[in-house]
């Protein structure tokens, strides 16, 4: 049986493919205040702005490609039972070949009904006012905005609780509840923390090995370390 490797990824791994994050510039995301484009209040205040913002992000996805970090994680499935839990809303893990990817914060390439959160549709083009679900309700980006519950959290916790190895890649460990997932890894599970500017992880029981590198280079190091365990 393959050992289970659970990987929590954040914006840092996608940044190397050219996808910007709101933490790059004083709370701005591609020039927008996150409160305007990533909250329910922003949606109700200016639906057209929010739709345009995510339309541009969706189009940007067509211009970027998975990087070496994504690719190596996919290749690790040859030797490990790999589960990716990602805070990212892009599809770069899937495009790299990873087969078990759980999106905590939603997906750019899906939309959902404003009236029924379980009515989710695949969506690759622009989403506009007047694009409705089968019951005549407006569709919105399938993104977990600030202040909304994280539907996939329970599944993420269940996955983390069974990890033989746990890796954290390219996340600031500042956004909850995702940042709290590490606490659910078994206390005997080794943790690998990859980030060019690592922080101290508070109240962790596990043995932590820090790799102070950007995602692609750090994941390559992770592969070698796992081989030697």
The angle, 0 to 180 degrees and rounded to 10, between the axes of the packed helices 68-75 and 215-227 is 20
Cβ neighbours, 10 Å, residue 23: 17
SS3 122: strand
CA distance 227 to 229: 6
CA distances from 173 to 12, 34, 49, 107, 193 (A): 11, 18, 29, 20, 10
Residue 105 bears catalytic tag = yes
Kindly name the residue from 32, 105, 137, 142 that is annotated as catalytic.
105
> What span, in angstroms and rounded, lies between the C-alpha atoms of 226 and 218?
12
Among all residues, which ones are annotated catalytic? 105
């Amino acid at each position: 049986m393959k050992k289970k490797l659970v990987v929590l990824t954040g914006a840092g791994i996608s940044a190397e493919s050219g996808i910007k994050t709101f933490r790059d510039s004083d709370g701005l995301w591609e020039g927008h205040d996150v409160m305007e484009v990533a909250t329910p209040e922003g949606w109700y205040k200016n639906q057209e702005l929010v739709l345009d913002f995510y339309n541009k992000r969706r189009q940007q996805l067509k211009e970027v490609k998975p990087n070496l970090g994504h690719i190596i994680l996919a290749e690790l499935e040859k030797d490990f039972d790999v589960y990716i839990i990602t805070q990212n809303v892009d599809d770069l893990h899937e495009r790299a070949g990873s087969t078990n990817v759980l999106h905590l914060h939603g997906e750019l390439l899906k939309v959902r009904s404003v009236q029924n959160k379980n009515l989710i549709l695949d969506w690759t083009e622009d989403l506009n006012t007047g694009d409705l679900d089968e019951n005549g309700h407006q569709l919105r980006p399938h993104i977990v905005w600030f202040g909304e519950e994280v539907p996939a959290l329970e599944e993420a916790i269940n996955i983390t609780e069974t990890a033989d190895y746990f890796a954290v890649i390219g996340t600031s460990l500042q956004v909850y509840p995702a940042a709290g997932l590490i606490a659910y890894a078994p206390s005997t599970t080794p943790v690998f923390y990859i980030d060019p500017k690592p922080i101290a992880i508070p109240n962790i029981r596990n043995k932590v090995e820090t790799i102070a590198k950007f995602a692609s280079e750090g994941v390559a190091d992770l592969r070698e370390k796992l081989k030697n365990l």
